[in-house]
Amino acid sequence: MKIALCHLELSCGPQERNLQILEQAVRIAAEQGADWVLTPEMAVQGYYFYRIDENAVVVPQPSPELEPLRKLCCEYGITLFLGCGEYDAACDKNFNSCLVFGPDGEIIGRHRKLFGECMASESWARKGDSFTVLPCSGLQTGVLVCADLWFPEYYEGTKAHGAEIIVDVAAWPPTQVCGNPLPAWLHASKVTDVTIIVCNQTGSPQWMDMNVGQSVVIDRGELKLAYSGEPAVLLFDYDAEAKCVQSVAYDVHYIK
C-alpha cells in the first residue's frame, strides 16, 4: 500500500486557505496512488487559530466545509487522517482531534488528543479520555495527536488495544524548551514494536519555528524516512502484510 504525508504550512490559517491547500495536497497524493493520506495536527483551522482570534467558534465535525475532502475520499478510494478542531454538543466541549474518513467519505472514527488541557495555544480544547484503534485497510490502526506520542501510557495503551501500526498528526518541531522529539518517537516505536508514522508541518509562525519539524516513518525503533522543509506531499510504500516500510526514500511532490 502507498501512504502519503501532507507536510504543509497551515498553522496560522485561515481555515478557507487551509482547506484549499489540503484539497490540493490530498488530490496530488491520490493521483500518485496513495491509499492513506495523513495531514498535520489542526490542519483545518490552523494550530494557532485561537491565538489569532479568541472569538473563533469551533463547530461540530464533519462540517459542510469538509465536503470537498470527503468527496476526494470517495473519488479516489482513500483513507484520510485529518487534524481538526471539533465541538461535541453532547458534553459541551471542544477537542483537538484527528478525524478518520474511509474510502466512502464517511467517518471511520476519531481520536481526541489525550495530552493537555487549557494550555497555551490549545486553551480552547479539553482532553480526550480514550484510546483509538480503528480498522483501516485491514490494519488495526492506532491514532494519536502530537504530544500523545511523548507519553508511554498513551502509546503503550494504544498498542495494548490492538494497534498494529500507529499514526500521529503533529505540530511538533524541535524547540529549546522541549528539545528534539525524535528520540521519544524512536523509543515509542521500539517499545511498541510497530511502525510509527508522524505527519508534521512546516512554516515560521511567530510562536514557533516549524520549518525544522520532521515528518518521519519509524520501523520498530529504526528511523526509515525523514523530511523537513518546504511544503510537500511525501509518499512511501508500506507492506501491510509484513508490516514494514518498503521505500528507502520519500517520493516528494512539492506544493506550489
Q: Could you give all domains of the chain from N- to C-terminal order, each with its CATH number?
A: 2-254 (3.60.110.10)
> What number is the average pLDDT over the span 126-139?
97
Strand 79-88 versus strand 36-38 pairing type: parallel
Those residues whose C-beta lies under 8 Å from the C-beta of residue 42, and which sit 6 or more positions away, are 10, 11, 49, 83, 84, 85, 96, 171
Most confident of 64-73, 174-183, 198-207: 64-73
Taking the C-alpha atoms of residue 5 and residue 20, their distance in angstroms, rounded to an integer, is 16
Mean pLDDT of 75-84: 99
pLDDT of residue 177: 73
Taking 80 as the threshold, does the pLDDT of residue 119 lie above it?
Answer: no
Q: Give SS3 for 64.
A: helix
Sequence-ordered list of residues with C-beta below 8 angstroms from that of 38, at least 6 positions apart, any chain: 3, 4, 5, 6, 81, 167, 169, 197, 199
The model's pTM is: 0.97
Backbone angles phi, psi at 227, to 5 degrees: -150, 140
CA distance 52 to 75: 34
